[in-house]
Every structure is written in C-alpha cells, then in structure tokens.
A = this chain, B = another copy of it.
Amino acid sequence: MVQLSPAESGRAAQGDTSVTRVLGILDLFAPDTPVWTVDMLVEHLSLGRATIYRYIRALCDAGFLVPVAGAGYVLGPRFIEFDRSIRLADPLLHIVPPVMAELRAVVNGAQLLCGFYGLRVLTVLQDKTDPNITMSMERGRPFSLFQGSPSRVILAHLPTYQLRNLALNQQKEIAAAGLGENWTEFRDAMRAIRKTGYLVASDIDKALVGISAPIFHAPGAVAASLCLVRLKESVTPEDAAFLGGLAVWACQRISAELQAFRPGNAGAGAPAFPISRVR
C-alpha cells in the first residue's frame, strides 16, 4: 500500500516523539526571533513549564542553546563548532578555493560552490569580485532542489532511480519549477541538461545569470556544483557558452582531484568522501 499523504506533502511529518519536539524547538530560533524565554516557549508549545525546562536543559547541556541575561535563550556555540567540523572534513574546501582564484579574473562576477545534502542544496563557499553583485549567497544559504542553476544541474545528474522517486514524490514542485508535467517530460529535461554538460539559468535573482556545472565524487555520483555568476545585462549568449565550457572544465579538474583525495583519517571500511543520498 502506498502512503499518499507524506508523498503529497513532500516530506513525512508525523513526528510526535519527544526527540522531534526538542529538535523542533531549535527551529523557532530563526533570524527574526533569535531570543525565546521559557514563558514564550510554554505558551507557544502548550507544554508544561517543567517539560520546557527539561528540554532546554538538554539543549543547553549539548551547547545548542545558551541562556542570556533576562531569562532568554539563544542559539549556542555548538553550531559554530559543528560547522567548523564539517569544514575541516570537507575536501572540497581544500580543492576549490585555488580553482576559484584562477577563474576569478575571467569570470569577473562571483562564484558559488554549492553542496548537495539529501534533498537540499546549499552554498558552501563563495568568491565575489563584482561589487555590483549583491548576493546574500554566502555559506549556509539554502536552495530548493528545483530552483537555480546550481541545484538543477545537480538534480540532472542524480541516478535514474532517484530521479524517478523525485518525479513521483515531488511532482508538484517539479511542475512548478517548469521541469516537466510528468516523468517522461522531466526525464527528457534532465537528459538535455546532462547532454549540454552545464546549465544557464536566471531564476533566483532575475538580475543575475548563473552558469553551473556538476562536480562528481565518483563517476556518476554528484556531490556539488560550481556556479559562475554575472550580471545578466553583461552576458551575451556567446559569453554564456564560454562560461559554461569554463565551468565544465573547472569541474572536471575539481572532480578529478576529489576522486584522488583520500583523507588521512579514513576509517577502515568507511567511504573516503561520502556522497549524499536522496531521502
């Protein structure tokens, strides 16, 4: 029997375990509401005061929250530490910066390295030259898997069975992004992108053009994408094709280095550098 509701809503969300609730609390600490008091949480979550204190204590002990003056709590230092852990373990952050430096003058705009994580894509590294390009696309900025050239070029290079799953489960989002109304349309659209090797798009910031190519951890396994960004008005079709070729060339080099890369700490049977799976 097929579960319809989770598929329809895009992601299962039946979570009602205490762990889910505790982790959910962290989501409340968004940039526009960075401080929460116990009273606010009690009211917002309709839970007993003691329970909230228990939750908060667990989060504080783990360093995910920090108490601040005036009975409030904010996001804690552990996130900063974990981000550093991830940075230290990520071979792309060793390999890509020199490549970006080489491309900088030719691109004359900006460059993004976008990582692929399950169903999400996010900026992992940024290199900006043109001060006219005001992007808040720095590390940590999330993208939908279906919007923007960095995401879509990754999407296009996912294994077939993952694309099939997406076509089934994310039908609405795919159609909304203009990637096809059904599986065959979607598959053909993705195939076309793969054939070109790079993707030119201008769907996130209309004033900009992004030209992206895929980075592979292993043959057939996308790990990330490199996106070259320019002001739209300064890009002719020939420029776009040229930058596309440039991106592909750079990404081939990056992929080769990535596949040669073996971390010194590699655990016995552990994958050298792991690729995200969808779902």
Q: A91 CB to closest chain B CB, in angstroms?
A: 11
Whether A81 lies near B140 (C-beta < 8 A) is yes
Interface presence of A32 (CB below 8 A): yes
Q: Which of A57-102 contact B (CB under 8 A)?
A: 58-64, 66-70, 72, 74-77, 79-89
Contacts A58-B23, A61-B12, A88-B31; A118 near B66 (Cβ below 8 A): yes
Binds B, one of A14-22, A165-173, A177-185, A207-215: A14-22
Number of copies: 2
Interface presence of A265 (CB below 8 A): yes
Out of B35, B77, B118, B279, which one reaches A117, CB within 8 Å?
B77
Which secondary structure characterizes the binding site on chain A? mixed
Out of B70, B118, B120, which one reaches A274, CB within 8 Å?
B70
Whether A118 lies near B265 (C-beta < 8 A) is no
Which B residues lie within 8 Å of A58 (CB)?
Answer: 15, 17, 19-20, 23
Jot down 15 A-B pairs with beta carbons below 8 A, ordered by A: A17-B54, A17-B58, A18-B18, A19-B19, A31-B85, A67-B277, A72-B271, A75-B89, A77-B120, A77-B142, A79-B86, A80-B86, A80-B122, A82-B140, A84-B138
